Amino acid sequence: MMRVLVTGIRGFTGSYLAEELLRAGHDVIGVVRHASSKSLSGVQSVHVCDLTDADSLKAVVASVQPDAVAHLAGISFVSHSDAEAIYRANLIGSRNLLEALLGSGKSLRVVLLASSANVYGNAGVGVLDETTPLAPANDYAVSKLAMEYVARLYLPRLPIVIVRPFNYTGVGQALNFLVPKIVDHFRRRAPVIELGNLDVARDFSDVRTIVSIYRRLMECESAVGQTFNVCSGQALSLRDVLEMARKISGHHIEVRVNPAFVRENEVKVLVGSMKRLESYLGPLPRIPFKETLYWMLTA
């Protein structure tokens, strides 16, 4: 059993990870940026702290004295318009956390840092593994890669594991993300949906699979010091997702391509290799994406 500090615990991924850790018997403490009346069943306590406030963060870490940390807090929306905010949250906030952990004097078992598969950019290869050259194509991806480089400065003083999740989704994800937007339109039986490039292909996973992998990596001592793709190993185009949603819902929707939604420097295909991940954790069962869509459409 570990005493786990989860940053961004009220976020989409954080709430699911908290549930996963609690089911496995771990104690869970959270960090959030803003106070909220939303309760988290089973979580011991939730501390309000902006990770860009280094002194407040040090005080939280000193108070909690965690055995392990899952760092999920930050800006996760690729098209976020405020570049300065992206770098403050994803880079400076992460460095402040590592400094606070290093200065706490506590012997940690693991510090899991959530990066992103966006660090690969428009890689001209079919399946991306952890040795694929990194070529971030937007500020969000650059901020995540910079976080990875900063994290390496703390090895081996901190037991860091870096994860590069590919696209994942589930019930509760914000509507400014692609799949929840599609699901919302089908649930409302809207006649029309406006989207960007329909031919982009992504490696989609279920959030419940993702947090299970995070928890298992945190429990795997040999994973310390490593970087892992967290993915399904399969790519689906936007057209594939729309067709799945149509079959599940029985609703036909007119799809219009809005040029305003076509991103500059769009990453055309992102599909990851699970080879390294499975070499550490063994074969990983995954939830088929059709089941994820059904869950979201009927929740």
Domain borders along the chain are 3-168+206-230, 170-202+234-271+287-298
Q: Residues 33-44: pLDDT tens digits?
A: 988 767 789 999
What percent of the chain shows pLDDT beyond 90?
A: 83
* Contact in structure between 7 and 70 (CB atoms under 8 Å): yes
Statement: residue 80 has pLDDT above 70: no
pLDDT in tens, 125-163: 678 999 999 999 899 999 999 999 999 999 999 999 999
The DSSP H or E segment spanning 13 is helix 12-23
Distance from C-alpha of 116 to C-alpha of 143, rounded to nearest angstrom: 10
Q: Which CATH class, in words, describes the domain spanning 3-168+206-230?
A: alpha beta
Q: Name the β-bridge partners of 237.
A: 201
C-alpha 53: how far from chain center: 23
In the prediction, which pLDDT does 125 show? 67
How confident is the model at residue 200, as a pLDDT? 85
- Residue at token pair 């490039």: 197
Q: What is the mean pLDDT of the chain?
A: 94
Does the pTM exceed 0.85? yes
Mean pLDDT of 167-194: 96
pLDDT band at 124 (very low <50, low <70, confident <90, very high): low
pLDDT at 249: 97
Q: Name the CATH topology of 170-202+234-271+287-298.
A: UDP-galactose 4-epimerase; domain 1 (3.90.25)
| Residue range 15-29, pLDDT digits in tens | 999 999 999 999 999
**Band of the pLDDT at 79, cuts 50, 70, 90?**
low
CB burial of 255-267 (b: ≥16 within 10 Å; e: otherwise) equals: eeeeeeeeeeeeb
What is the spatial distance between Cα 103 and Cα 98, in angstroms, rounded to a whole number? 9
How many Cα atoms sit within 13 Å of 204 on the Cβ side? 21
**Short-list 210, 234, 222, 208, CA closest to 128:** 234
